[in-house]
Structure 1
Amino acid sequence: MIKNYLLVAFRNLWRHRAFSLINILGLTVGLTAFFLIFLYVRFELSYDSFNTKADRIYRVVADIKTPTETLNSGGPAWAVGAFIKKEFPDEVEAAVRTDENSFLFRRGDVKYQEEHSLLADSDFFKVFDFKLIHGDPATCLREPMSVVLTESAAKKYFGSENPMGKTLIMTSDNFNTQVTGVMKDMPENSQIKADVIVSMTTRTSRARRLDSAWGNYGNRTFILLKPGINYKSFQNRLPAFLDKYDGGEMKSSQMFPTLFLEPLRWVYLYSTRDDSKTGHITNVYTFTIVALFILLIACFNFVNLTTARAAERAREVGIRKVVGAVKTQLSRQFIGESVVLCLIAFILALALTSALLPSFNNLSGKVISHTIFTHPQYILVLLAVALGVGILAGIYPALVLSSFKPVETLKGRFSTGTHGVFLRRGLVVVQFTISIGLIIGTIIVYSQMMYMRNADLGFNKTQKLVIDTEGDPARMAFRNALTTLPNVRSVSMAGSVPGGDNPGAYSQIQNVKGEMQIANLDLYFVDFDYIPQYQMKIIAGRAFSRDFGSDTTQAMIVNEAAVKDFGYRSPKDIIGRKFDQWGRSGMIIGVVKDFHFHSLQEVIKPLSIRIEPDGCYLVTAEVPSGPQLPETIAAIEKEWKKDMPHRPFSYYFLDEYFDRQYRAEDRFGKLFLDFAILAIFISCLGLLGLASYSTLQRTKEIGIRKVLGASVRGIVGLLSKEFVLLVGVAFVVATPVAWYLMNRWLQDFAYKVSIAWWVFAAAGLTALVIALLTVSFQAIRAALANPVQSLRTE
Structure 2
Amino acid sequence: MLRNYFKIAWRNLAGNKTYSFVNIGGLAVGMAVAMLIGLWIYDELSFNQSHKNYRQIARVMQQQTLDGEINMGGNVPAPLFKELQTNFKTDFSSVVITSWLQRHTLTYGTATFTKPGNFMSAGTAEMLSLKMKSGSASGLTDPSTILLSESTAIAIFKNADPVDKMIKINNDLDVRVVGVYEDIPYNSEFHELGFIAPFALFVSSNQWVKEAVENGEWKNSSFQILVQLTENTDYKVVSDKIRDIKLQKAGSDDLKFKPQILLHPMNSWHLYSEWDNGKNVGGRIQFVWLFGIIGVFVLLLACINFMNLSTARSEKRAKEVGIRKAVGSQRVQLVGQFFSESFLIVFFAFFISLLLAWLVLPTFNGIADKQMFIPWRDPVFLVIAFVFTLFTGLTAGSYPAFYLSSFQPIKALKGKWTPLGLRATLPRKILVVLQFTVSITLIIGTFVVYKQILHAKNRPIGYNKQGLVTMLVNTPNLHRHIDALLDDLVKTGTVTSLAESAAPPTEVFSANVGFNWKGKDPGLNSEFATIGISHDFGKTVGWQFIAGRDFTRTLSSDSAGFVVNEAAVKFMGLANRGLNHAVGETVTWDGKPFKIIGVIKDMIMESPYDPVKKSIFFIHPRGGRFITARLNPGTNSSLALKNIETAFKKYSPDSPFNYQFVDQEYALKFAAEERISKLAAVFTVLAIFISCLGLFGMASFIAEQRTKEIGIRKVLGASVTNLWQLLSGDFVILVLVSCLLSIPIAWYCMDSWLEKYTYHTNISWWIFAAASAGTLVLTLSTVSYQAIRAALLDPVKSLRSE
With the shorter chain as reference, the TM-score category is over 0.9
1:44 lines up with 2:44 in the alignment: yes
Query: 741, 760, 766: which is aligned to 1:752?
Result: 760
TM-fit CA distance, 1:72: 2.5
Question: Equivalents in 1 of 2:736, 2:684: separation in Å?
Answer: 19
RMSD: 2.4
Matches for 1:682-761 after TM superposition, within 5 Å: 682-761=690-769
Task: Tell me the CA shift for residue 157 of structure 1.
Answer: 2.1
1:324/1:67 CA distance change after superposition, 3 Å: closer
Q: Do the aligned partners of 1:499 and 1:598 also contact (CA within 8 Å) in 2?
A: yes
CA contact (8 A) 1:43 1:189 kept: yes
Query: Which deviates further from its counterpart, 406-415 or 439-448?
Result: 406-415
How far apart are 1:479 and its partner, in Å? Answer: 3.5
* 2:565 aligns with one of 538, 559, 565: 559
Equivalent in the alignment of 1:531: 538
**Unaligned stretches of 5+ in structure 2?**
none
Q: Please, which moves more after superposition, 665-674 or 449-458? A: 449-458
C-alpha change, 1:514 and 1:688, in structure 2 (3 Å) is closer
How far off its partner does 1:597 sit?
A: 1.6
Which residue does the alignment assign to 1:109? 110
CA shift digits 1:339-375 (9 cap, x unpaired): 0110011111111111111111111112123x44274
Q: C-alpha separation between the residues in 2 aligned to 1:256 and 1:700?
A: 83
Do the aligned partners of residues 665 and 409 (structure 1) sit closer, same or farther apart at CA in structure 2, a change above 3 Å counting?
same
Report the TM-score when normalising by structure 2: 0.93
Deviation at 1:46, TM superposition (A): 0.5
Report the Cα offset of residue 44 of structure 1. Answer: 0.5
Query: Once the 2 structures are TM-superposed, how far is the Cα of residue 122 of structure 1 from its aligned partner?
Result: 0.7
Q: Residue 489 of structure 1 aligns to a residue in which SS? A: strand
Structure 2 distance, partners of 1:571, 1:688, is 64
Question: Does structure 2 retain, via aligned residues, the 8 Å contact 1:505–1:521?
Answer: yes
- C-alpha distance in 1, partners of 2:487/2:124? 43
CA shift, 1:140, in A, is 2.4
Equivalent residue, structure 2, for 1:768: 776
The structural deviation recorded for 1:493 is 2.6
Note if 1:543 corresponds to 2:550: yes
CA contact (8 A) 1:525 1:609 kept: yes
- CA positional deviation for 1:392: 2.6
C-alpha distance in 1, partners of 2:714/2:26?
Answer: 34
Match for residue 620 of structure 1? Answer: 628
**What is the deviation of 1:48?**
1.2
**Could you tell me which residue of structure 2 aligns to residue 391 of structure 1?**
394
Other-structure match for 1:178:
176
Partner of 1:154: 153
Deviation at 1:23, TM superposition (A): 0.8
- Higher mean alpha-carbon deviation, 155-164 vs 514-523, is at 514-523
* 8 Å Cα contact 1:510/1:517 also seen in 2: no
Check whether the contact 1:436–1:763 (CA below 8 A) recurs between aligned residues.
yes
Q: 1:365 aligns with which of 355, 362, 369?
A: 369
For the structure 1 residues 74 and 273, does the alpha-carbon distance in structure 2 shift closer, same or farther, using more than 3 Å as the test? farther
Aligned to 2:346: 342
The one of 296, 301, 316 equivalent to 2:305 is: 301
Asked if structure 1 preserves the Cα contact closer than 8 Å seen for 2:493 and 2:632, the reply is: no
* Structure 2 counterpart of 1:320, from 324, 333, 351: 324
Report the counterpart of residue 381 of structure 2 in structure 1: 378
The residue type equivalent to 2:169 in the other structure is M
Partner amino acid for 2:194?
Answer: D
Query: Match for residue 359 of structure 2?
Result: 355
In 2, Cα distance between equivalents of 1:448 and 1:772:
30
Deviations 1:165-197 (A, max 9, x none): 221111132x21011221110111111230101
Q: Output the amino acid matched with 1:196.
A: F
Helix, strand or coil at the partner of 2:556 = coil
The 3-state SS of whatever aligns with 1:129 is coil
**CA deviation digits over 1:126-151, x for unaligned, max 9?**
322222233444x3221212211111
% identity of equivalent residues: 34
Offset at residue 391 of structure 1 (A): 2.4
Range that drifts further, 141-150 or 391-400: 391-400
Q: Structure 1, unaligned stretches of length 5 or more? A: none
Is residue 505 of structure 1 aligned with residue 512 of structure 2?
Answer: yes
The more displaced of 622-631 and 381-390 is: 622-631
User: What TM-score, normalized by structure 1, do the two folds share?
Assistant: 0.94
For residue 409 of structure 1, what is the amino acid of its counterpart?
A
> Alpha-carbon deviations, 1:205-225, whole Å to 9, x = none?
454333322111122212112
| Partner SS, residue 227 of structure 2 | strand
| 1:404 matched residue in structure 2 | 407
- State whether residues 600 and 749 of structure 1, in contact with CA within 8 Å, keep that contact through their aligned partners in structure 2: no
Per-residue CA distance 1:461-482 (angstroms, 9 max, x = gap): 1111222223532241434422
User: Is contact 1:69–1:519 with CA below 8 Å preserved after alignment?
Assistant: no
CA distance in 1, matches of 2:588, 2:377: 57
Of 681-690 and 379-388, more deviation after overlay is shown by: 379-388
Contact between 1:343 and 1:387, CA under 8 Å: does it hold in 2? no
1:470 aligns with 2:474: yes
Query: Are residues 426 and 516 of structure 1, via their aligned partners in 2, closer, same or farther at CA, if it must alter by over 3 Å?
Result: closer
Which range moves more in the overlay, 381-390 or 693-702?
693-702
- Per-residue deviation, 1:697: 4.0
Note if contact 2:486-2:497 (Cα within 8 Å) is conserved in structure 1: no
- Which residue in the other structure is 1:578 paired with? 586
Q: Which amino acid aligns with 2:682?
A: D
Check if 1:598 corresponds to 2:618.
no
Number of paired residues? 787
C-alpha separation in 1, matches of 2:376 and 2:595: 65
Contact 2:28 2:353 in 1 (8 A): yes
Contact 2:494 2:635 (8 Å CA) reproduced: no
CA shift at 1:67, angstroms? Answer: 6.2
CA contact 2:133–2:182 (8 Å) conserved in 1: yes
Alpha-carbon separation, structure 2, partners of 1:593 and 1:627: 29
| Offset of residue 199 of structure 1 | 0.9
Alpha-carbon distance in 2 for matches of 1:656, 1:277: 30
Q: State the shift of 1:665 in Å.
A: 0.9
